[in-house]
């Protein structure tokens, strides 16, 4: 069982990471981020039920809340970009250029 959970988590996390790093579409990057967060969350939930630990379960809930808040901020940033008629492509956002 543990192996299956670790496998699922690993696949989810890796696909999230690949989305984040290789895709330039901001929406896809946000999706990758959510995937990575939830991959970690699955492992947390599994271990909290394994050890019957309510405290860890509450941390999993907290992470869901944080992920939701982060999605809100990310989406609102993307909407702002769309409204200002800029492409939602990370290649066009070069403000950080040194």
Partner 1 sequence: MIEIPLAVFVLLIAPVAALLLGFFILRPAKPDWTHWPILASCALVCVASLALAARVYTGWGIDATIYTWMAAGNWGVPFGVRVDGLSASMLLMVSLVGALIQVYAVGYMKGDPGFSRFFLYFHMFYLAMIGLLLSNNYVQFYLFWEMVGVASYLLIGFWYEKEAPRKAAMQAFLTNRVGDFGLMLAVLILLSLFHGNTRFAVVFPLITAVNPSLIALVGLLLFWAATAKSAQFPLYFWLPDAMEGPTPVSALMHAATMVTAGIFLLVRSWPLIAAIGNLPELIGAVGAITAIGAAIIAATKTDLKRILAYSTVSHLGLMAFALGLGQVAPAMFHLITHGFFKAVLFLCVGNIAHALGKGSVEVCDVGGVAKKMPVTFACFSVGAISLAGLWPFAGFYSKDAILKAALHHGGMAAAAGLLIETLSAFYIFRMLFLTFLGPRTEQKGPGRAQEPGLMMRVPIVLLSLGALSAGWFFSHFSTMLSSGWPLRDGVAPLPEFSRTTLAAATAAAALGVLAAYWLTMMRPAWDWRWRRDHPHWEEIFQSDFGWKEVVRFFVHWFGGLAHKIGRDWDEKAWDGFIESTPSVARRLGEAGSALASGLINDYLWWMLAGTSLLLYAVIR
Which residues form the interface with partner 1 (CB under 8 A)?
Answer: 17, 20-22, 24, 29, 90-91, 93-98
Angle 26-50/54-83 helices, nearest 10 degrees?
Answer: 170
The nearer residue to partner 1, 6 or 22, going by C-beta atoms, is 22
Smallest gap from residue 18 Cβ to partner 1 (A) = 11
The nearer residue to partner 1, 14 or 65, going by C-beta atoms, is 14
Smallest gap from residue 91 Cβ to partner 1 (A) = 6
Dihedral over alpha carbons 73, 58, 35, 12 (to 10 degrees): 170
């Amino acid at each position: 069982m543990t192996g299956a959970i670790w496998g699922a988590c690993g696949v989810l996390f890796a696909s999230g990471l690949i989305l984040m790093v290789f895709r330039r579409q901001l929406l896809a990057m946000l999706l990758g981020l959510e995937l990575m967060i939830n991959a970690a969350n699955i492992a947390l939930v599994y271990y909290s039920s394994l050890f019957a630990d309510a405290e860890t379960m509450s941390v999993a809930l907290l992470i869901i809340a944080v992920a939701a808040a982060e999605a809100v901020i990310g989406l609102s940033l993307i909407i702002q970009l769309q409204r200002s008629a800029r492409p939602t492509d990370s290649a066009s956002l070069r403000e950080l250029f040194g």
